[in-house]
Copies of this chain bind each other. A is one copy, B any other.
């Protein structure tokens, strides 16, 4: 492999000791590793304790697992001997989201992806948003959120190991990206000052540690790398996503939109990076609608409405009867409702009063109906959705304008998060959620935070690039922006009261 993963296996063959060469076992191994280009390998005591026996069992040939420890103080690389006697080595890239924890497992000898696995963040039972969880930590139970998260992650790791029939002891490296609060919870750091002015986290810089220090149930010497943050509002997940997108290497300004529980927008290029965040997310993840659900089996992800009979034809993930609608399905649905005349530009259901069904005491549109199942969207849900799309667009508009640019100046638009995978761009443009610029400028990324974490896992040399991205970022507080409100008013219509704004 060209790149050095955060940990990797390697085979070492030593000269046998003799009357003329009585060099001790550890020092002999150190010498050979140095000749192989790995000078001054740090060897934990628990590895040294089993070295003598392992060397003799293998007649002075040995499989070792080396951890790469990028030195903070120099460009030089440090090395750590994670384990001996193991020929297979696995690594995990973990994205700790507010709602879900996603994990990708790799064989570090081949860089082959073994699996992608996701679980719900178990903290969700204490609150859907991170601030509720921070408040919980401020009222006495300071370590509860960390403990719950640690349990969840360890349970996830056990699950993966069972699934793939490997020993947790073979996991030798982990990279972790998440928002600032979640990575603080992950490390058991104090989050109580984050919501208090001047909003200072416990840690900004990247964190290098071991599984033992953090309490991860895997090889206790495993190297753990946690992405840096750029303040309380710009987490390692954004930085990891920027790394994966390549935005920080672009010559011309690009937009990077990550829609998760929150919407995070990054604008920049290789010279500067600006990040802003807003709370438009839940709506776009399907959270505004009673029928909203994750993009998983049973979810409607595509909708066509017949403009004659106003009936919807839906496509369902995995086929069969639908159980809900995912974020991209919802965008499609509202776009179709508008273009087929089911709703007007303000999102009001139109047509003869008697033709519009009522559900939950208000007007509604039936998305799907069978003998067993009915899925509908109420008038207020439609209005909520439009508020979300309006917030999203206004945010993008004001954000881009605030640095003296227009949408026309944007070279590429990376779209990450749940939305990034299946979104119908034309629909998003139709309703004025996304800027109306050439479609080939849009690049869907999926879970960019997880993929950025995987990049570092497989190429430890990228940690310095991550540091540079973090240093380049400036955070822009958008809630204080007066223009946001005026743009938002017009964006509450489909596509907008001033359609020219959509083009920048």
Contacts and interface: CB of A to CB of B under 8 A. Distances in A.
A209 interface: yes
29 contacts: A22-B198, A24-B201, A24-B229, A24-B231, A25-B193, A25-B201, A25-B203, A26-B203, A30-B205, A39-B73, A40-B73, A44-B213, A45-B188, A45-B209, A45-B213, A45-B214, A46-B213, A48-B187, A48-B202, A49-B189, A49-B190, A51-B190, A51-B202, A52-B192, A52-B202, A53-B190, A56-B193, A73-B76, A73-B78
Contact of A204 (B23, B190, B213): B23
A18 interface: yes
A44 B51 CA distance: 26
A272 interface: no
A232 interface: yes
A200 interface: yes
Greatest chain B CB density within 10 A among A25, A44, A205 is at A25
Nearest to A21: B198
Is chain A's interface secondary structure helix, strand, loop, or mixed overall? loop
A126 interface: no
A174 to B, nearest CB: 14
A480 interface: no
A40 B198 CA distance: 25
Contact of A202 (B25, B46, B73, B192): B25
Contacts of A232: 22
B188 A49 contact: yes
A201 B50 CA distance: 13
A472 B361 CA distance: 92
A139 interface: no
A261 B41 CA distance: 36
Contacts of A203: 24-27, 48
- Tally of this chain's copies: 2
Contacts of A86: none
Contacts of A192: 52
B209 A40 contact: no
Interface string A204-227: 110001000110000000000000
Given A26-B204, A40-B72, A51-B190, 10 more contacts: A17-B198, A18-B198, A19-B197, A22-B232, A24-B204, A24-B205, A39-B73, A40-B73, A48-B202, A50-B190
A232 to B, nearest CB: 7
A200 B45 contact: no
B56 A204 contact: no
Given A44-B213, A73-B40, A213-B44, A24 B200 contact: yes
A46 B141 CA distance: 18
Nearest to A50: B190
Contacts of A198: 17-19, 21-22
